[in-house]
Amino acid sequence: MKEARIPAQPGQKREWPLFLGLGVALVAIAGGCVAILNSELGPLERSAGDFVRALGAGDGRSACAGMTRAGRADFAATYQQKTCEEAVTKLVAPLTSAERAQLSDTDTRSPETDPPLGHVGLGSNPLQLSQLVLTKVDGEWLVTSVR
């Protein structure tokens, strides 16, 4: 049995293959853009998360290793300490173990880059930190400012 086809009207073209092709192309382009953004924002957000987890653990060495030299100096000065590691100790000393655990689990969100800087928002946490500013140094995102 033959399939019944509706003939095109005179002067009318069948355009659905064109629309299908355009749709596939748009999906591919969008997927590529997401992959590019993820390749840049993923490491940014991971660096921010590593920093916050180190703070929560009271691990000044790891937290400060994730900061730029200027960031470490500013951080130490902000908390009136000689070193960045001492500033981390002072910052987390008043926290209970439950608050430290909460700090370690702080959500990082809304990563964005505005080269050469990156910004990562922080969820609710016992230190009331709201944002980390990072800069890319030798291919690695490092914290420059804690807000």
Q: What is the DSSP string of 26-45?
A: HHHHHHHHHHHHHHHHHHHH
Which domains, from first to last, does the chain contain?
26-146 (3.10.450)
pLDDT at residue 34 greater than cutoff 70? no
Q: What is the CA radius of gyration of the chain?
A: 25
The answer to whether 134 and 68 have CB atoms below 8 angstroms apart is no
| Reported confidence tier of residue 26, pLDDT bands at 50, 70, 90 | low
In this structure, what token pair is assigned to residue 6? 């509706």
The pLDDT score that the predictor gives to residue 40 is: 73
Q: How far is CA 106 from CA 42, 111, 146, in A?
A: 16, 14, 14
Average the pLDDT over 68-94 and give the result.
98
pLDDT at residue 2 greater than cutoff 60? yes
Taking the model in full, what pTM does it have? 0.75
Residue 99 identity: E
Which DSSP helix (H) or strand (E) runs through 85?
helix 84-92
Beta bridge partners of 117: 114, 135
Residues 52-68 pLDDT 10s: 999 999 999 999 999 99
